[in-house]
Structures are given as C-alpha cells and as structure tokens.
Chains A and B, each alone.
Chain A
C-alpha cells in the first residue's frame, strides 16, 4: 500500500508539485480579481455578519464621477513617484559608483544600506514622525538653534508632500544602491583600464562605459522602484493619512479609505480594477521599452 503511494507520488511528481501554488493563486488572486468585477457593479452591505449584494451598476460609476479626491490623489501620486524615483536613481547610482572606487568600507556600506529595506515601513514612519514633530523634532530643534522659524513639516499643505517624499527617498536609495552596486562590481575591470590607458577622463568613463554597461540594471531598478513607489501606503498612512486636506493623499491611501473607512466596497472594487489595468499597461509598455533597449 505504502509502496504504491510512493510510486504514484513519483509518477505524478511533475503535476502535484506545481498544484499547490496554482491552487493558491487561483483561490487568492484570480478569484478575488474576478470578484472585484462583480463587486464593481454592486453595492455591498453587511448585516449580521452576512454580506448583502445588490446589483447597482450605475451607482459606482456615478461615485467615480463625483469623487473629488481622486484627481488630487492621482496628481500627488504622480509627483510622488516621479520625484522620489528620480532622486533615488541619481543618488543610488552616484553612491554605487563612489563606493566601487573606495578600497575599504564596501562591506560596511552594504551592511548599513540594507537596514532601511528590511525594517517595517511602519517603524520608519514612526521614526520620521518623531523627527518631523513640530515641537520637539530634530529638524525644528536644528532650525531654532540656527535662529530660524520652525516648519510644520507634516501639517502644512505646502510642505507635507515634500516631507513624505523625503522619507521615501531615505527608505529606498539604499535599494537602488544595492542593485546598481552589484552591477558595477560586475563590470570587467580591464574595460575600464583600457579606456583609461586610451586617455579617457573619469566623466567619460562613467558616461560612455559605465552607464551603457549598467543599462539593464538601471532599467530594472527604475521599473521596480516606480511600481513600488506607486504602491506606497504604510509610511504615508502613518505620517499623515493623506492630510492635511488632500495634500499627501496618494491613490493607495484613497483606496484604503474608500474600502475600509467609507465601507464603499463596490466603488473600491471599481477603483481597484482601474489601478490594476494601469499597472498592467505600464508593465506592457516598459517590457516593450526594455526589449527595444536590449536589441538596440
């Protein structure tokens, strides 16, 4: 009996080994997304722990048209992603090129740089909430010591978004650094030696040799960071919850509020579908761009 089970397990190994992952994906990702479609044309209310669905296709679309927060949230998200990722790429690349040329300290630099990536984003939010505090945060202590007026980092509509972007930059420059540093270390030394012997300056080596050779790693860091930045939720929720007003409201924070604070499950589903469509479109475009870049 036991023998025959073993034989059967061996014969069907190929199939049953993939099965749990497929089941998990179907049950917890594909089915929920199919469910989003159904939710997006419904109104869902909970009565005595049971969900009550009513079919109201027009209702959610009218909510979409009447949503005055969505547009500011989309603009904020765009600003957030573009500014944060651009700064992260520039600083990360600069740091990777620099550290690669230092004889010692590479290991230490790498160890320190991994830390922000690994600790909970909520803990990072807590750190910066303390540092940004109007009354006793380190920034305002420094400003007052220098004789300048304190700034309401998280509470003023003109500064809050920049403050939140700074936290994201602090959080993710190290990731760009790690990815690019691994790639820089992979560039063969003799290529650079040869260029130097031919009289190339440092700037020329970076622009004409390093950056072209690093292109695949740069592209991957850029795509990864763009999408992760687009998904940012934890720190912003902790720091400002989207406020003051809508000045740091990101699409993700807005989605959370629609789903879980306003309990608009149907409208939330509609927003979710739109988001997923946007991501898939971005992936398709960037894949095309990557492929074009590789063949060029």
Chain B
C-alpha cells in the first residue's frame, strides 16, 4: 500500500538520501579524475576540468594501463565464453538426465562449498601448480582460474532457467524424432537464452573485477585492470589523479552492461533468494 501525505514526503526524502549516499562516492572520484594533481591536493572546489589524467593513464609511454585493459578484456571474454559452455552443459545434464543422487548431490554441494571458501586459500596451490605447468604469468592460466571461480554461479543460474522450461516440450521433441543433442540445441538452449545472458553478464563482470587471483598469478605484462589500480594506490607516492582516472575507466564495463542488461543482472543477482 503506497504511502500518502507526510509519510510519502519523508519516504522520498529518505530514498533521496540513500541514492545520494550511493552516488556520492562515484561523483567524488569522477570529479577528482578530472582534476590536476595540484587541484586534488588543495581540495579545490572550483577548478578547470582536464582530461590529462586519462590521456596520461591510457596513452603515456610510462603507463601500461592500455595493456592492462586489453588483458582484462581478453581474460573476461575468454573465461565468460568458456564458463558458459562448461556450466550450461553441466546444468543441462543435471536437470535433464537421471543422475544418481549422490553424484548430483556431491556436485552441487561442492559448488556451494567452493563458492563459499575464500579464493585466496586456493591461489597458493594454484600458484605452485601453475608455475610447474608453465601457466603462471599467462593469460590462459588466469582464464582457467576465472572459469573455475564463475562455474558455481553459472551452473545454479542455468539450472534455475532450465527448470522453467516445461518438460513436455522436451518429450514432444523426442517423440517427434529429435536426438538428445538436437533437443538441447534447438529447444532448451533458445528457451534458456535469458539465463545465458544473465550468467554471461555476471561472469564477465566478476572476471573483470577479480583482484585476489589476478594479483598473485600475474606479473607486469599480464596484470589486469584491478591489479594496475592497486599499483597506483600502493606506490611510495600515491598517484591520486591517475588512480582516480583508472578507477573510473574500470567501472565502465559494469555501467555499460547495466545500461543494456539491467533486467538480466537483477534477475541473476536475486534468483534463488526468492524461490
């Protein structure tokens, strides 16, 4: 029941405050990224906006950031594509076929446990194994780690979307002479397309955002965007203006995906909590 009268005004004021609290820090860093370092230091409120920080971060020869952006884009794209294939197949298999209870139970239970344990506990063994296999400090190694990290989320989301498909459709197709692979490709997959979009967007964002894994499995040439930003922040003399510009750039994929796929993102983030 909607609020009325004074309650409504107070309600909108509270909502406005909440929105301001969320947006404020974003605006603060955006404004700072447009300042020269000197204007940041003096805390000036009136200043001439400049794009110098962005061009310094992206195009200066002293900065690797453009390479970091490329690394992040490659790793996020490749790991998203892979996790969608692996996760969707696994979800379909568990949803469609009669697996022994202990197998499906062990698999899904393990995805839950793995999702909950701090990824840093596994980065140590990954570091040792990857060094021995020659995967340490390669984009391929990082892609594999990110696929693993995003697999539980992908499997759950896709299973939830497959469950929405009426089983009669599958059965009718089988009776009409479709082979199992055709049923999967021609019926289940198109009907679960919203799930693929939701899982794909989230997997891309989580891979793009990952810091703990990339920090420890990459070095200078393979570093991703978050690792680079942390390096700006951790130098002996913090490069505030460049850190701000790099941080703003790092939020762009999320903003873009949010603009085009908001419905899928919210569905993906809240699924499972409602059902």
Measured CB to CB, the residues of A under 8 A from B are 6, 9-10, 13-15, 17-18, 20-22, 24-25, 28-33, 35-36, 39, 44, 46, 49-51, 95, 98-99, 101-103, 105, 108-131, 133, 135-136, 138, 141, 170, 174-175, 178-179, 182-183, 186, 189, 192-193, 196, 216-217, 220-221, 224, 227, 230-231, 233-234, 237-238, 241, 252, 255-256, 259-260, 265, 268-269, 272-273, 275-276, 279-280, 283
Contact = CB atoms under 8 A, between A and B. Distances in A.
Given A36-B121, A102-B12, A21 B155 contact: yes
A118 B11 contact: no
B198 interface: no
Given A98-B14, A122-B247, A112 B23 contact: yes
B274 A217 contact: yes
Contacts of A44: 128
B77 interface: no
Contacts of B175: none
B135 to A, nearest CB: 11
Nearest to A30: B110
A150 B127 CA distance: 43
Interface residues of B, number: 99
A29 B110 contact: yes
B244 A118 contact: no
A111 B258 contact: yes
Contacts of B18: 95, 109
Contacts of B127: 259-260, 265
Contacts of B122: 28-29, 32-33, 272
Nearest to A202: B7
9 contacts: A25-B148, A28-B122, A101-B3, A102-B11, A119-B209, A130-B40, A133-B240, A234-B226, A283-B116
A14 B126 contact: no
A118 B254 contact: yes
A219 to B, nearest CB: 9
Contacts of A259: 120, 123-124, 127, 216
Given A136-B41, A255-B118, A280-B113, A272 B25 contact: no
B266 interface: yes
B216 A260 contact: yes
Contact of B113 (A98, A105, A279): A279
B235 interface: no
A74 B118 CA distance: 15
Contact of B230 (A51, A109, A124, A238): A238
B91 to A, nearest CB: 9
B151 A24 contact: yes
B203 interface: no
Interface in B206-225: 208-209, 211-212, 216, 225
